[in-house]
A and B are shown apart, each in its own frame.
Chain A
Amino acid sequence: MTPIPILKQREKQIYEKGEAKDGRPFDMACDRHSLAGSVSQRACVFCGSRVVLYPIADALHLIHGPIGCAAYTWDIRGALSSGPQLHRMSFSTDLREQQVIFGGETRLYQALCDLIDAYRPAAAFVYSTCIVGIIGDDVEAVCRRVSREKGIDVLPVHSEGFRGTKKDGYRAACDALFKLVGTGDTAGIQPSSINILGEFNIAGEAWAIRDYYERMGVQVLSVMTGDSRVSEIRRAHGAALNVVQCSGAMTFLAERMTAEYGIPFIRASYFGIEDMAKALYDVAAYFRFDPTLQQRTETLVRDAVNGIMPELLRIKADLAGKRAAIYVGGAFKAFSLIKALRLLGMRVVLAGSQTGNSDDYQTLRDMCDPDTVILDDANPLELSKYVIEKGADLFIGGVKERPIAFKLGIGFCDHNHERKISLAGFEGMLHLAREIHTTVTSPVWRFAPFRSKQE
Chain B
Amino acid sequence: MPPTITKEACLLDRIRVTPSAEATQNACKLCAPLGAALVFKGIQGAVPLLHGSQGCSTYIRRYLISHYKEPIDIACSNFSEHSAIFGGGANLKLALENVRHQYAPSLVGIATTCLSETIGDDVAMFIKEYRRSKTGQTLPPIVHVSTPSYQGSHMEGFHRAVWATVSALAGDERRGDARRVNLFPGMLSPADIRHLKQMTAAFGLEAVVLPDYSETLDGGLWKDYQRVPEGGTPVDAIAAAGAAEASIELGGSLAMARETAASFLQQRFAVRPFRLGMPIGIRQTDVLIQSLAEISGRPVPGCYAEQRGRLLDTLVDGHKYVNTVRAALYGEEDLVAGMAGFLAEIGIHPVVCASGGRSMHLAEAIRAQIPASWHAETAILEDADFTAIETAVDTARPDLIIGHSKGYAMSRRLGIPLVRIGFPIHDRMGGSRLLHVGYEGAMALFDRLANTLIERRQDASPIGYTYM
Name the A residues within 8 Å of B77 (CB-CB): 36-37
| Closest chain A residue to B219, Cβ basis | A407
| Closest chain A residue to B2, Cβ basis | A207
A91 and B12 contact, CB distance less than 8 A: no
Say whether A295 faces chain B, with CB atoms less than 8 Å apart. no
Of residues 163 through 206 on chain A, the ones whose CB sits less than 8 Å from some CB of chain B are 163-164, 204
Q: How many A-B residue pairs have CB under 8 A?
A: 274
B3 and A450 contact, CB distance less than 8 A: no
Of residues 38 through 86 on chain A, the ones whose CB sits less than 8 Å from some CB of chain B are 38-47, 62, 65-75, 80, 82-83, 85-86
Say whether A448 faces chain B, with CB atoms less than 8 Å apart. yes
Say whether A100 faces chain B, with CB atoms less than 8 Å apart. yes
Say whether A162 faces chain B, with CB atoms less than 8 Å apart. yes
Shortest CB–CB separation between residue B281 and chain A, in angstroms? 29
A65 and B114 contact, CB distance less than 8 A: yes
Of residues 5 through 59 on chain B, the ones whose CB sits less than 8 Å from some CB of chain A are 5, 9-12, 16-18, 20-27, 29-31, 33-34, 49, 52-59
B54 and A40 contact, CB distance less than 8 A: yes
Of residues 422 through 441 on chain A, the ones whose CB sits less than 8 Å from some CB of chain B are none
Say whether B389 faces chain A, with CB atoms less than 8 Å apart. no
Interface string of B62-100 (1 = CB under 8 A from A): 110110011111111111110110000001101111110
CA distance A43 to B55 in the complex (A): 4
Say whether B150 faces chain A, with CB atoms less than 8 Å apart. yes
For A34, A67, A163, A406, the residue with the greatest tally of chain B CB atoms inside 10 Å of its CB is A67
B95 and A37 contact, CB distance less than 8 A: yes
Known contacts: A74-B27, A82-B5, A408-B221. The answer to whether A131 contacts B114 by CB under 8 A is yes
Say whether B317 faces chain A, with CB atoms less than 8 Å apart. no
Say whether A22 faces chain B, with CB atoms less than 8 Å apart. no
A67 and B49 contact, CB distance less than 8 A: no
The residue that A385 contacts in the complex, of B27, B34, B58, B225, with Cβ under 8 A, is B225
- In this complex, the interface size class of chain B, counting residues with CB under 8 Å from chain A, is 35 or more
A71 and B30 contact, CB distance less than 8 A: yes
CA distance A1 to B9 in the complex (A): 53
Known contacts: A36-B77, A37-B97, A119-B17. The answer to whether A407 contacts B406 by CB under 8 A is no
Say whether A92 faces chain B, with CB atoms less than 8 Å apart. yes
| Closest chain A residue to B96, Cβ basis | A37
Q: Which of A107-115, A141-149, A271-279, A282-290 is near enough to bind chain B? A: A107-115
Say whether B227 faces chain A, with CB atoms less than 8 Å apart. yes
CA distance A447 to B70 in the complex (A): 18
Q: What are 20 A-B contacts defined by CB distance under 8 Å?
A: A5-B102, A7-B102, A35-B98, A37-B96, A39-B73, A44-B55, A44-B56, A66-B150, A67-B31, A85-B12, A114-B17, A119-B16, A130-B52, A130-B53, A162-B81, A404-B71, A407-B225, A408-B222, A449-B221, A450-B222
Beyond A114-B20, A449-B223, 20 additional pairs, beta carbon < 8 A: A4-B227, A36-B76, A37-B97, A37-B102, A43-B58, A43-B59, A67-B30, A68-B31, A68-B60, A68-B114, A92-B23, A97-B150, A97-B151, A107-B22, A130-B115, A211-B2, A379-B73, A379-B102, A380-B71, A399-B65
